[in-house]
């Protein structure tokens, strides 16, 4: 047990890189105890309150260990002093049904990786298969695409060890409230992520560190008795009596009682295979749009005023939302990457899809964010559950064509976009997308209700962030992979509603959005399987 003291506020001018002593003194005062009574303390949460730009504060929650904690809390009688909530407890009773085969996990993204890690920790010896390469080779394949436009359709920004989250900003913020989030963060730190992710308000890891982290988690899984096979694709499932009997991986038949399907949102051929096999799925809404780039300094000045270059502050982020008055559609910033770069995230030949990433330091000159507009099944051509995929494909192909049919991305400056003209030269901001870009009319590769809504939103966003709609802000197209366009429907036991033994997990199942929520979903499913089954002998 420990005591949690919340809302300890320090002025930015009183902050140093390590504020623990100042915070501890304030906490002792709030608890009305002597400093010497505190045996141990650590920062549990640190957030920045920049609502008043010229009066920026740091807000801390601190976790304290001392004698007689319950009595101290009672005596303090203060709204910000509480006994700490119990953390995630991964202890549970295993089920009694014996597995006839080891559990198989498809996909080594956050959902599959964490399901695999927990199962390996519990002695279930899972087999994880991943269509892409392990991270060292995957990095080479991705660099080949970013520098020479040679796309490996099996190993890219979407596919490969660590999943879609590896070549990302590694933002670990989530809206879900689940104690398993702490487990995920703890495991990331054990695998080499910076310790600060355990307490900072907006934790992030960055691609450079993530690559090391996912490799270390793989090694842990293997040490614990799990197996990870790369370049291994699930291409078929064999069904008997509405139950999974076995799976086909690279042409080989593997008996299987429990299949965790953590395939992410971009494995279109796998969705098609599952659909043909009669797995029930439905189409779901997602969002589509462009990436926009500004100087990071401009964002910092907007968010932090005179403190823009303060050593306690890192690259600022933002969140913007608007509802189109004309169409009623939501327009919003998505996956903002401070000091990052726009990246080619295609996974199919002849299509352009982009996204954003950062390294741990977030020290590049441009800030980028997607500006996306909600789309849903009523926008798709048919009622077919896979029609959202065809919708994505159609616009990604248009983007490829107007980008020059060589994986260069179509680019337009905000001023020209708003006037309806194709750009002819850059201003002060250079597009960060590689291998290259071509000036184009972005209205030619997105539905008009998306570009119209973005045109409506940009001046509004400019009121919130001065310069947001500046003439030379760079827009790059197109962002299509914001979340899965398909849901693989499942019941309260996380099992497919149409196929026993199939556990759709994470983002690709349509039940998570982002690294942390996908990882937590994987954990929940692994737990559920282990609560029902004991491991195969
Ligand atoms: C560039 C980029 C930046 C992002 N930035 C962030 C961020 O900062 N913060 C955040 O929270 N989220 C971010 N996301 C989203 C995040 O990456 C996803 O939400 C998350 O990775 C989903 O996890 P998942 O395990 O469900 O699926 P994925 O991570 O997509 O993993 C699925 C894995 O399954 C494999 N697979 C698919 N089909 C098969 C098959 N048939 N056989 C074998 N293997 C298969 C794929 O190769 C893939 O590796 C970003 C995404 C991208 C693309």
Span 342-366, pLDDT tens digits:
999 999 999 999 999 999 999 999 9
- Please name which of 291, 270, 242 lies closest in space to residue 412, comparing C-alpha atoms: 291
pLDDT of residue 20: 82
Of 156, 173, 511, 515, best ligand 1 pocket probe by most atoms within 8 Å of the beta carbon: 515
What pLDDT was estimated at residue 88? 78
Cβ atoms of residues 53 and 83 within 8 Å: no
Mutate to test the pocket of ligand 1, among 106, 130, 163 (most ligand atoms within 8 A of CB): 163
Q: How confident is the model at residue 1 (pLDDT cuts 50, 70, 90)?
A: confident
For residues 442, 448, 451 and 454, what is the CA-based torsion angle, rounded to 10 degrees?
Answer: 180
pLDDT of 85 above 90: no
* Nearest ligand 1 atom, CA 110: 25
Average pLDDT over residues 242-261: 96
Task: Give residue-wise pLDDT tens across range 307-334.
Answer: 998 988 999 999 999 999 999 999 999 9
pLDDT at residue 508 tops 80: yes
Mean pLDDT (the chain, rounded)? 96
Return the axis-axis angle of helices 180-190 and 110-121, rounded to nearest 10°.
90
| Ligand 1 near 274 CB (within 6 A) | no
Per-residue pLDDT at 384? 96
What is the predicted pLDDT for the residue at 54? 86
Give the list of residues 6+ apart from residue 166 with CB closer than 8 angstroms, or none: 135, 138, 160, 207, 210, 211, 214
Cα 238 to Cα 244: distance, rounded to the nearest angstrom: 6
Confidence of residue 14 (pLDDT cuts 50, 70, 90): confident
Cα separation of 349 and 393, whole Å? 11
Burial class, 198, CB count within 10 angstroms (exposed 0-12 / middle 13-18 / buried 19+): middle
pLDDT at 19 over 80: no
- In this predicted structure, what is the pLDDT of residue 260? 98
Q: Output the pLDDT for position 17.
A: 66
Task: Give the pLDDT confidence score for residue 525 in this predicted structure.
Answer: 98
- Sign for the CA dihedral angle at 271, 275, 278, 283 comes to positive
Lowest mean pLDDT, pick from 91-100, 272-281, 297-306: 91-100
Sheet strands (E) in 190-340: 227-229, 234-240, 243-249, 252-255, 259-261, 282-283, 286-295, 321-323, 330-337
| pLDDT for residue 317 | 97
pLDDT tens-digit readout, 117-173: 999 999 999 999 999 999 999 999 999 999 999 999 999 999 999 999 899 999 999
Q: Write down the pLDDT at residue 274.
A: 98
Q: Return the H-helix or E-strand segment holding 106.
A: strand 104-106
Please tell me the distance between residue 408's alpha carbon and the centre of ligand 1 in angstroms: 23
pTM of the model: 0.95
Percentage of the chain exceeding pLDDT 70? 99
> Is the minimum distance from the CB of 165 to ligand 1 under 6 angstroms?
yes
- Look at residue 424 and tell me whether its pLDDT is greater than 90: yes
435 preceded by a cis bond (ω within 30 of 0): yes
- Determine the average pLDDT of the residues in 505-534: 96
Residue 215 has pLDDT above 80, yes or no: yes
Lowest average pLDDT, out of 6-15, 58-67, 377-386, 419-428, goes to: 6-15
**How far apart, in whole angstroms, are the C-alpha atoms of residue 363 and residue 314?**
9
State whether residue 289 is helix, strand or coil: strand
CA-based nearest residue to 1, from 40, 33, 57: 40
| 507 close to ligand 1 (CB < 6 Angstrom) | yes
Q: Which of 477, 429, 474, 432 is nearest to 450 (CA)?
A: 477
Q: What value does the mean pLDDT take over residues 475-481?
A: 98
């Amino acid at each position: 047990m420990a005591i949690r003291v919340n809302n300890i506020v320090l002025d930015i001018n009183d902050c140093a890189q390590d504020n623990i002593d100042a915070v501890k003194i304030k906490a002792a005062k709030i608890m009305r105890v002597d400093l010497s009574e505190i045996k141990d303390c650590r920062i549990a949460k640190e957030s920045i309150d920049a609502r008043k730009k010229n009066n920026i504060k740091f807000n801390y929650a601190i976790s304290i260990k001392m004698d007689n904690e319950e009595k101290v809390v009672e005596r303090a009688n203060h709204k910000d002093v509480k006994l700490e909530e119990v953390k995630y407890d991964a202890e549970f009773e295993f089920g009694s049904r014996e597995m006839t085969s080891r559990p198989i996990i498809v996909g080594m993204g956050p959902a599959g990786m964490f399901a695999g890690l927990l199962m390996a920790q519990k002695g279930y010896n899972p087999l994880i298969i991943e269509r892409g390469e392990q991270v060292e080779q995957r990095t080479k394949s991705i660099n080949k695409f970013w520098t020479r436009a040679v796309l490996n359709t099996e190993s890219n920004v979407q596919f490969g060890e660590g999943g879609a989250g590896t070549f990302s900003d590694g933002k670990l913020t989530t809206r879900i409230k689940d104690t398993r989030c702490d487990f995920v963060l703890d495991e990331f730190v054990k695998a080499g992520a910076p310790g600060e992710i355990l307490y900072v308000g907006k934790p992030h890891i960055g691609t450079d560190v993530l690559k090391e982290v996912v490799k270390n988690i793989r090694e842990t899984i293997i040490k614990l008795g799990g197996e990870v096979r790369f370049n291994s694709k699930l291409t078929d499932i064999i069904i008997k009596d509405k139950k999974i009997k076995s799976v086909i991986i690279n042409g080989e038949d593997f008996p299987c009682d429990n299949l965790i399907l953590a395939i992410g949102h971009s494995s279109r051929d796998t969705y098609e295979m599952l659909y043909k096999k009669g797995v029930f799925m439905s189409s779901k809404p997602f969002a589509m749009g462009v990436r926009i780039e500004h100087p990071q300094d401009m964002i910092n000045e907007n968010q932090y005023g005179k403190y823009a270059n303060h050593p306690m502050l890192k690259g600022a982020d933002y969140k913007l939302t608007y509802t189109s008055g004309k169409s009623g559609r939501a327009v919003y910033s998505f996956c903002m990457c401070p000091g990052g770069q726009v990246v080619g995230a295609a996974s199919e030949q002849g299509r352009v899809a982009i996204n954003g990433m950062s390294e741990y330091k977030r020290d590049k000159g441009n800030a980028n964010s997607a500006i996306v507009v909600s789309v849903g099944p009523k926008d798709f051509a048919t009622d077919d559950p896979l029609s959202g995929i065809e919708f994505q494909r159609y616009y990604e192909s248009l983007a490829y064509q107007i980008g020059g049919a060589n994986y260069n991305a179509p680019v337009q400056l905000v001023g020209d976009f708003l006037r309806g003209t194709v750009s002819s030269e850059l201003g002060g901001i250079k597009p960060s997308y590689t291998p290259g870009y071509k000036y184009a009319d972005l209205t030619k590769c997105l539905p008009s209700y998306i570009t119209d809504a973005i045109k409506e939103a940009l001046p509004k966003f400019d009121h919130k962030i001065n310069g947001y709609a500046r003439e030379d802000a760079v827009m790059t197209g197109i962002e299509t992979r914001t979340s899965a366009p398909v849901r693989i429907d499942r019941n309260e036991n996380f099992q497919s509603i149409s196929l026993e033994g199939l556990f759709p997990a994470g983002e690709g199942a349509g039940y998570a959005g982002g690294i942390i929520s996908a990882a937590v979903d994987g954990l929940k499913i692994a737990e559920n399987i282990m609560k029902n089954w004991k491991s195969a002998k």
